[in-house]
Amino acid sequence: MTVAAVVPAAGSGTRLGAGAPKAFVPLAGVPVVVRAVEGLLRSGAVDEVLVGVPEALVDQARLLFAGRPVTVLAGGAERTATVRLALELLAVHGGERAATPEGHADVVLVHDAARPLTPPALIASVVAAVRAGHPAVVPVLPVADTVKRVTPDGIVESTVDRSVLRAVQTPQGFAFATLWAAYAASDVDAAATDDAGLVERVGEKVHTVPGDPAAFKVTTPWDLHIAELLLEKA
Ligand code: CTP
Ligand code: MG
Protein backbone atom coordinates (compact mmCIF):
# COMPACT_ATOMS: atom_id res chain seq x y z
CA MET A 1 0.00 0.00 0.00
CA THR A 2 1.52 3.34 -0.95
CA VAL A 3 0.69 6.65 0.69
CA ALA A 4 0.96 10.03 -1.03
CA ALA A 5 0.48 13.35 0.75
CA VAL A 6 -0.82 16.44 -1.03
CA VAL A 7 0.24 19.71 0.60
CA PRO A 8 -1.70 22.79 -0.54
CA ALA A 9 0.78 25.66 -0.10
CA ALA A 10 -0.37 28.08 -2.81
CA GLY A 11 -2.27 30.55 -0.62
CA SER A 12 -1.25 34.17 -0.27
CA GLY A 13 -1.40 34.39 3.53
CA THR A 14 -3.56 37.54 3.59
CA ARG A 15 -4.51 37.18 7.26
CA LEU A 16 -0.88 36.64 8.29
CA GLY A 17 0.17 39.71 6.32
CA ALA A 18 3.86 38.76 6.44
CA GLY A 19 4.70 40.26 3.04
CA ALA A 20 5.28 36.82 1.48
CA PRO A 21 3.06 33.80 0.78
CA LYS A 22 2.47 32.13 4.17
CA ALA A 23 4.06 28.79 3.25
CA PHE A 24 7.38 30.55 2.56
CA VAL A 25 7.47 32.64 5.73
CA PRO A 26 10.35 31.49 7.95
CA LEU A 27 9.40 29.92 11.26
CA ALA A 28 12.49 29.90 13.50
CA GLY A 29 14.55 30.09 10.30
CA VAL A 30 12.81 27.29 8.36
CA PRO A 31 9.99 28.00 5.86
CA VAL A 32 6.56 26.93 7.14
CA VAL A 33 6.02 24.55 4.19
CA VAL A 34 9.37 22.83 4.76
CA ARG A 35 8.42 22.12 8.38
CA ALA A 36 5.04 20.72 7.28
CA VAL A 37 6.58 18.45 4.62
CA GLU A 38 9.40 17.23 6.87
CA GLY A 39 6.80 16.30 9.52
CA LEU A 40 4.97 14.16 6.95
CA LEU A 41 8.17 12.38 5.93
CA ARG A 42 9.27 11.92 9.56
CA SER A 43 6.00 10.12 10.35
CA GLY A 44 7.33 7.13 8.42
CA ALA A 45 3.79 6.67 7.07
CA VAL A 46 4.14 8.73 3.87
CA ASP A 47 5.99 7.59 0.71
CA GLU A 48 5.84 10.75 -1.36
CA VAL A 49 4.66 14.34 -1.12
CA LEU A 50 3.15 16.67 -3.74
CA VAL A 51 3.35 20.37 -2.87
CA GLY A 52 1.26 22.99 -4.69
CA VAL A 53 2.85 26.44 -4.46
CA PRO A 54 2.23 29.86 -6.07
CA GLU A 55 3.37 29.70 -9.70
CA ALA A 56 6.12 32.31 -9.17
CA LEU A 57 7.67 30.20 -6.40
CA VAL A 58 7.84 26.80 -8.14
CA ASP A 59 11.60 27.02 -8.85
CA GLN A 60 12.38 28.23 -5.34
CA ALA A 61 10.34 25.37 -3.85
CA ARG A 62 12.10 22.79 -6.04
CA LEU A 63 15.42 23.98 -4.59
CA LEU A 64 14.04 23.75 -1.05
CA PHE A 65 13.04 20.10 -1.60
CA ALA A 66 15.94 18.92 -3.75
CA GLY A 67 16.85 15.32 -2.92
CA ARG A 68 13.58 14.67 -1.05
CA PRO A 69 10.66 12.49 -2.31
CA VAL A 70 8.75 15.66 -3.14
CA THR A 71 7.10 16.85 -6.37
CA VAL A 72 6.42 20.58 -6.67
CA LEU A 73 3.59 21.89 -8.85
CA ALA A 74 1.93 25.24 -9.44
CA GLY A 75 -1.25 25.52 -7.35
CA GLY A 76 -4.60 27.09 -8.25
CA ALA A 77 -6.66 30.12 -7.25
CA GLU A 78 -8.60 28.26 -4.53
CA ARG A 79 -7.43 25.61 -2.09
CA THR A 80 -9.67 23.03 -3.77
CA ALA A 81 -8.12 23.91 -7.15
CA THR A 82 -4.63 23.33 -5.74
CA VAL A 83 -5.62 19.92 -4.33
CA ARG A 84 -7.39 18.97 -7.57
CA LEU A 85 -4.27 19.75 -9.64
CA ALA A 86 -2.17 17.58 -7.32
CA LEU A 87 -4.65 14.68 -7.50
CA GLU A 88 -4.61 14.87 -11.30
CA LEU A 89 -0.82 14.75 -11.30
CA LEU A 90 -0.92 11.73 -8.97
CA ALA A 91 -3.42 9.92 -11.20
CA VAL A 92 -1.55 10.64 -14.43
CA HIS A 93 2.03 10.13 -13.33
CA GLY A 94 1.48 7.72 -10.49
CA GLY A 95 2.21 4.73 -12.69
CA GLU A 96 5.86 5.69 -12.94
CA ARG A 97 6.24 5.96 -9.18
CA ALA A 98 3.68 3.85 -7.39
CA ALA A 99 3.32 0.10 -7.29
CA THR A 100 -0.45 -0.33 -7.62
CA PRO A 101 -2.11 -1.70 -10.76
CA GLU A 102 -4.19 1.48 -11.01
CA GLY A 103 -0.93 3.38 -11.09
CA HIS A 104 -1.47 5.70 -8.14
CA ALA A 105 -1.13 5.66 -4.37
CA ASP A 106 -3.83 3.73 -2.50
CA VAL A 107 -4.02 6.28 0.29
CA VAL A 108 -3.85 10.03 -0.06
CA LEU A 109 -3.44 12.56 2.74
CA VAL A 110 -4.23 16.23 2.31
CA HIS A 111 -2.31 18.41 4.74
CA ASP A 112 -2.18 22.21 5.01
CA ALA A 113 1.29 23.69 4.63
CA ALA A 114 0.07 26.13 7.27
CA ARG A 115 0.20 23.45 10.03
CA PRO A 116 3.99 23.27 10.44
CA LEU A 117 4.08 21.76 13.95
CA THR A 118 1.76 18.80 13.31
CA PRO A 119 3.13 15.84 15.31
CA PRO A 120 4.31 12.93 13.13
CA ALA A 121 2.37 10.59 15.46
CA LEU A 122 -0.90 12.31 14.47
CA ILE A 123 -0.03 11.85 10.79
CA ALA A 124 0.68 8.16 11.37
CA SER A 125 -2.63 7.72 13.24
CA VAL A 126 -4.63 9.17 10.33
CA VAL A 127 -2.88 6.82 7.87
CA ALA A 128 -3.47 3.87 10.23
CA ALA A 129 -7.21 4.61 10.35
CA VAL A 130 -7.44 4.67 6.53
CA ARG A 131 -5.43 1.44 6.34
CA ALA A 132 -7.85 -0.07 8.88
CA GLY A 133 -10.64 0.39 6.32
CA HIS A 134 -12.06 3.90 6.81
CA PRO A 135 -12.20 5.58 3.37
CA ALA A 136 -12.21 9.11 4.87
CA VAL A 137 -10.59 10.18 8.15
CA VAL A 138 -10.28 13.57 9.87
CA PRO A 139 -8.48 14.54 13.10
CA VAL A 140 -10.75 16.51 15.44
CA LEU A 141 -10.64 18.37 18.74
CA PRO A 142 -13.49 19.28 21.08
CA VAL A 143 -14.53 22.93 20.97
CA ALA A 144 -13.48 24.68 24.19
CA ASP A 145 -15.32 28.00 23.85
CA THR A 146 -19.05 28.51 24.02
CA VAL A 147 -20.32 28.96 20.45
CA LYS A 148 -23.17 31.29 19.50
CA ARG A 149 -25.04 31.90 16.28
CA VAL A 150 -25.16 35.65 15.53
CA THR A 151 -26.84 37.87 12.94
CA PRO A 152 -24.68 39.84 10.44
CA ASP A 153 -25.04 42.91 12.69
CA GLY A 154 -23.72 41.04 15.72
CA ILE A 155 -26.88 40.20 17.69
CA VAL A 156 -26.93 36.77 19.37
CA GLU A 157 -29.62 34.47 18.01
CA SER A 158 -28.87 31.32 19.97
CA THR A 159 -26.24 29.25 21.75
CA VAL A 160 -25.10 26.13 19.92
CA ASP A 161 -24.73 22.82 21.81
CA ARG A 162 -20.96 22.54 21.71
CA SER A 163 -20.89 18.93 22.93
CA VAL A 164 -21.69 17.77 19.38
CA LEU A 165 -19.20 20.15 17.70
CA ARG A 166 -15.59 19.38 16.74
CA ALA A 167 -12.84 21.55 15.28
CA VAL A 168 -11.28 19.78 12.31
CA GLN A 169 -7.57 19.69 11.50
CA THR A 170 -5.34 18.15 8.85
CA PRO A 171 -3.91 15.81 7.67
CA GLN A 172 -7.16 14.36 6.38
CA GLY A 173 -6.75 10.85 4.99
CA PHE A 174 -8.62 9.09 2.20
CA ALA A 175 -8.73 6.02 0.07
CA PHE A 176 -7.51 7.51 -3.21
CA ALA A 177 -10.65 6.43 -5.10
CA THR A 178 -12.91 8.09 -2.50
CA LEU A 179 -11.23 11.50 -2.70
CA TRP A 180 -10.96 11.25 -6.48
CA ALA A 181 -14.71 10.57 -6.78
CA ALA A 182 -15.54 13.42 -4.39
CA TYR A 183 -13.49 15.89 -6.44
CA ALA A 184 -14.95 14.55 -9.68
CA ALA A 185 -18.45 15.27 -8.35
CA SER A 186 -17.74 18.92 -7.44
CA ASP A 187 -16.82 22.09 -9.35
CA VAL A 188 -13.41 23.65 -8.97
CA ASP A 189 -15.17 26.56 -7.26
CA ALA A 190 -17.04 24.47 -4.69
CA ALA A 191 -16.96 26.42 -1.45
CA ALA A 192 -15.36 23.72 0.69
CA THR A 193 -12.84 24.66 3.36
CA ASP A 194 -11.70 21.07 3.77
CA ASP A 195 -11.50 17.94 1.67
CA ALA A 196 -13.72 15.76 3.83
CA GLY A 197 -16.49 18.28 3.12
CA LEU A 198 -16.47 17.17 -0.52
CA VAL A 199 -16.58 13.52 0.55
CA GLU A 200 -19.59 14.25 2.79
CA ARG A 201 -21.40 15.76 -0.20
CA VAL A 202 -21.21 12.47 -2.11
CA GLY A 203 -22.71 10.67 0.88
CA GLU A 204 -19.60 8.86 2.12
CA LYS A 205 -19.11 8.43 5.87
CA VAL A 206 -16.21 10.40 7.42
CA HIS A 207 -14.49 8.83 10.43
CA THR A 208 -12.83 10.93 13.17
CA VAL A 209 -9.64 10.34 15.16
CA PRO A 210 -8.36 12.47 18.05
CA GLY A 211 -6.51 15.57 16.81
CA ASP A 212 -3.62 17.35 18.54
CA PRO A 213 -3.44 20.99 19.66
CA ALA A 214 0.06 21.19 18.11
CA ALA A 215 -1.50 20.67 14.67
CA PHE A 216 -3.03 24.17 14.85
CA LYS A 217 -3.13 26.24 11.67
CA VAL A 218 -0.92 29.31 11.42
CA THR A 219 -3.45 31.89 10.24
CA THR A 220 -2.68 35.17 12.02
CA PRO A 221 0.49 36.86 13.40
CA TRP A 222 -0.57 35.59 16.84
CA ASP A 223 -0.40 31.97 15.62
CA LEU A 224 3.06 32.52 14.14
CA HIS A 225 4.19 34.02 17.46
CA ILE A 226 2.88 30.96 19.37
CA ALA A 227 4.63 28.63 16.91
CA GLU A 228 7.95 30.49 17.43
CA LEU A 229 7.56 30.25 21.21
CA LEU A 230 6.80 26.52 21.05
CA LEU A 231 9.93 25.90 18.96
CA GLU A 232 12.00 27.96 21.42
CA LYS A 233 10.88 25.69 24.25
CA ALA A 234 11.36 22.46 22.29
N1 CTP B 1 -4.00 27.16 -0.24
C2 CTP B 1 -3.63 26.72 -1.51
N3 CTP B 1 -4.12 27.32 -2.63
C4 CTP B 1 -4.94 28.38 -2.52
C5 CTP B 1 -5.35 28.85 -1.23
C6 CTP B 1 -4.86 28.22 -0.10
O7 CTP B 1 -2.85 25.77 -1.63
N8 CTP B 1 -5.35 28.97 -3.63
C9 CTP B 1 -3.43 26.52 0.96
C10 CTP B 1 -2.64 27.49 1.84
O11 CTP B 1 -1.33 27.68 1.29
C12 CTP B 1 -2.65 26.81 3.18
C13 CTP B 1 -3.96 26.00 3.16
O14 CTP B 1 -4.42 26.00 1.81
O15 CTP B 1 -1.56 25.93 3.38
C16 CTP B 1 -4.98 26.58 4.12
O17 CTP B 1 -5.38 27.86 3.65
P18 CTP B 1 -5.30 29.21 4.50
O19 CTP B 1 -4.90 28.93 5.90
O20 CTP B 1 -6.54 29.97 4.23
O21 CTP B 1 -4.01 29.94 3.82
P22 CTP B 1 -4.01 31.23 2.89
O23 CTP B 1 -5.11 31.14 1.90
O24 CTP B 1 -2.62 31.37 2.39
O25 CTP B 1 -4.28 32.38 3.96
P26 CTP B 1 -5.37 33.59 3.85
O27 CTP B 1 -6.71 32.91 3.69
O28 CTP B 1 -5.21 34.33 5.13
O29 CTP B 1 -4.96 34.40 2.63
MG1 MG C 1 -7.19 31.13 2.55
- Domain chopping of the chain, boundaries: 3-137+168-233
Measured from the Cα of 33, ligand 1's closest atom is: 15
Q: What span, in angstroms and rounded, lies between the C-alpha atoms of 153 and 151?
A: 5
The tens digit of pLDDT for each residue in 100-121 reads 445 667 999 999 999 999 999 9
User: Where would I find the H helices in the chain?
Assistant: 32-42, 58-64, 79-97, 120-131, 176-184, 195-201, 221-233
Please give the model's pTM, rounded to 2 decimal places. 0.95
Q: How far is CA 57 from CA 84, 117, 145, 146, in A?
A: 19, 22, 38, 41
Q: Which residues pair with 173 in a beta bridge?
A: 109, 137
CATH 3.90.550.10 fits 3-137+168-233, yes or no: yes
132: left (phi over 0), alpha (psi -120 to 50) or beta: alpha
For a ligand 1 pocket test, name from 22, 37, 53 the mutation site with the most ligand atoms within 8 angstroms of its C-beta.
22
The tens place of each residue's pLDDT in the chain, 234 residues long, gives 899 999 999 999 999 999 999 999 999 999 999 999 999 999 999 999 999 999 999 999 999 999 999 999 999 999 999 999 999 999 886 655 444 445 667 999 999 999 999 999 999 999 999 999 999 999 999 999 999 999 999 999 999 999 999 999 999 999 999 999 999 999 776 778 899 999 999 999 999 999 999 999 999 999 999 999 999 988
The tens digit of pLDDT for each residue in 195-230 reads 999 999 999 999 999 999 999 999 999 999 999 999
CA–centroid distance, 175 to ligand 1, in Å, is 23
